[in-house]
A and B are shown apart, each in its own frame.
Chain A
Amino acid sequence: MKRSKKMTLIQKVIKYKVLLLMCLPAIVFFFAFSYMPLPGIYVAFVKFNYGSGIFGSKFIGLKNFEFLFTSGKLFTLTRNTILYNVAFILLGNFFAVAVAILLNELRSKRFKKVSQTMMFLPYFISQVLVGILVYNILNYDSGFVNTVLTSLGLERWQPYSLANVWPPLLVLIYLWQQTGYNSIVYFAAIMGIDAETIEAARVDGANAFQKILYVILPSLKQTIVILLLFSLGGIVKGNFGLFYNIIGTNSLLYSTTDIIETFVYRATMSDFNFSTASAVGLYQSVIGFVIVMTVNFIVKKLEPDYSLF
């Protein structure tokens, strides 16, 4: 009865075989690089032995996790990752909105164009280069900061052995690299505000401050809230490239700069401790998954149109 109207799966496959084939390379790609690694998560529950492989190694249950929890390691890593991300998200969006609003107030097209080109530049370079730029400014022997300090007759500064200076420095570097690019979304949103609304505010005698406060900011509210919520979804995912290229393997700075990604990378690539690395990775994935689902649930309640699924 049903069949008379609906096609069977096989009929659908045959009818849409060309479209399916068009998707096939992508399907294979994600299968090979994203789904195939999933069974390997089992390595988090064994005492890994190269010779026996993942599935031949001895099963030890939650031992790998136990150590991470009791040693406090996981707590430090999670705390560092989350605190950095909170600073990145809040300050990053604050400055991106500020840049977008200020840009919108300016009238010189030429200034806008030139300054935007300069502001986007840091976003397009490799993280390796970011590490080098920072090193060239901060290193002890010949860095720019020390050149200036010396010429002023002041004592030299050695940030690469001071753990406490890095949280603000890394936030500053992140803002330097991302703010210009992040401001684009907000700038586009401001351009999208109905010109009549702004004109009406002007006619009503609103000055520039009032216009920003009562017209522009309220119309950006939705964009800001949605972008903040979605960044929250990635709050346990660290910016590996930034941290690894600036801090690298300088263990003097780990107490304040080691995030989940850098720890997992070292555990995998220098210690070959795949079980520990995988345990931390799994912990991160599970927490991240729960957070994204929660955020999506909230967005769905607030703004169904913007929910991810």
Chain B
Amino acid sequence: MAKTNNVMIEQGTKMKLGVSDKIIRSLGYVLLSVYALACIFPFLLIVGTSFTSETVIRAEGVKLIPKEFTLQAYQMVVKGGGIWKAYLLTMILTAIGTFLGLGIIAMTGYALQRKDFPFRNVISFYIYFTTLFSAGLAPYYLLMTQTYHLKDSYLAVLLPLLMSPWLIILMKNYVRAIPHEITESGKIDGAGDMRIFTSLILPMLKPALATIGLFLAMGYWNEWYQSSLFLSSKVDVKPLQYTLYEVVNKMDALKNSVAGQYVTMADIPTESVKMANAILATGPIIFLYPFVQKYFISGITVGAVKG
């Protein structure tokens, strides 16, 4: 009720609100509050779990607010040490991949949007076709491992995530908004195509670079799929999310093998350790993303237009 009144005061001077306006607004506040809380609830729950001692979890289950606050799980994760190496590897892959991918996507996006470039339709279709028909997982896996010999190589994670047809189309949509006269003026001044791109076009593409760079960075940070395909147990350090995946599944496997018994083996990662790992692997994203959210939003609205 209080909320509806506030709305009325805001709007009061303009016009009187009808009953249906009030209903819709109250409904909006209630439903959206419930949905928004539901969105963050599972996160709060793993935070709670990670600070709860294992004996309490076993006796009473998972709760939002820990009965006794403990840092045990975090101490175990930090002592294990593996997660820092995974962090470092993921940061390196993210930095290289985002930088390289962004450069290639920007160049391609610009060239394919140049009206005078006679090959632009052919190349656009060549790129777009890959979304229409693909060979599927098995031929891809055999090619990567048998022909390219990328099994157990970090390149198998770095390279496939460099770009996607969707990101190139997104870049083309951003470039389209830049007037062609800019390129023309560069030409008149005698600048070459590369020069026009680097000194005239790139500075105007800053929002596009931020958006697409963030999509790329998110892809690398959240990557687990290529790792699961190509990085076997021979590789000691794996990307962060796949490390997390292995921590969780190692535990399940051990649990199933001793089903029905109470185990106190120290090497079984416990529920709280699992959640502490999850929080450490996700933390940076959660803190960063409210600040970069607007770039993702711009990405989806610009990307909705066809290439």
Contact = CB atoms under 8 A, between A and B. Distances in A.
Interface of A: 7, 12, 16, 18-20, 22-23, 25-27, 29-30, 32-41, 43-44, 53-54, 99, 102-103, 105-108, 111, 114-122, 124-129, 131-137, 141-144, 146-147, 150, 176, 179-181, 184-185, 188, 202, 207-210, 212, 240-241, 245, 248, 261, 264-265, 267-269, 274-275, 277-278, 280-282, 284-285, 288-289, 292, 306-309
Contact of B43 (A37, A121, A150, A180): A121
A94 to B, nearest CB: 13
A147 B36 contact: no
Contacts of B210: none
- Pairs of residues from A and B, 5 with the lowest C-beta to C-beta distance, nearest first: A281-B136, A40-B139, A147-B61, A126-B222, A37-B135
Q: Which applies to chain B's interface (DSSP): helix, strand, loop or mixed?
A: helix
Interface string B15-39: 1001111011101110111011111
19 contacts: A22-B110, A22-B197, A40-B140, A40-B143, A41-B139, A105-B25, A119-B39, A128-B248, A133-B46, A136-B275, A142-B271, A144-B63, A180-B35, A184-B300, A240-B225, A289-B133, A307-B306, A308-B128, A309-B125
Nearest to B162: A29
Interface in B219-260: 221-225, 228-229, 241-242, 244-245, 248-249, 252
B206 interface: no
Given A119-B39, A129-B282, A106 B132 contact: no
B62 interface: yes
Given A19-B193, A265-B137, A274 B24 contact: no
A103 B278 contact: no
A106 B139 contact: no
Contacts of B33: 115
B42 A137 contact: yes
A34 B33 CA distance: 44
A129 B137 contact: no
A266 B219 CA distance: 23
Q: Which of A53, A118, A150, A209 has the most CB of B within 10 A?
A: A118
B130 interface: yes
Contacts of A284: 136
Nearest to A299: B306
Contacts of A188: 301, 304
Contacts of A212: 24
B85 to A, nearest CB: 18
A121 B142 contact: no
Given A124-B218, A128-B241, A133-B42, A281 B139 contact: yes
B123 interface: yes
Nearest to B59: A142
B248 to A, nearest CB: 6
Contacts of B242: 128
B274 A132 contact: yes
Given A126-B222, A202-B15, 16 more contacts: A29-B159, A30-B165, A41-B139, A106-B25, A107-B25, A118-B36, A118-B39, A128-B222, A128-B244, A132-B248, A143-B62, A144-B62, A144-B63, A180-B39, A307-B306, A308-B306
Contacts of B221: 126
Interface residues of B, number: 110
Nearest to B303: A185
Contacts of A147: 60-63
Contact of A43 (B28, B29, B42, B139): B139
A18 B24 contact: no
A281 B25 contact: no
A267 B223 CA distance: 22
Contact of A40 (B107, B112, B142, B162): B142
A282 B136 CA distance: 7
Contacts of A43: 138-139, 142
A274 B118 CA distance: 41
Given A34-B130, A147-B63, A289-B133, A108 B39 contact: no
Contacts of A105: 21, 24-25, 28
A294 B31 CA distance: 38
Nearest to B147: A36
Contacts of B117: 16, 19
B135 A107 contact: no
Contact of B36 (A39, A119, A275): A119
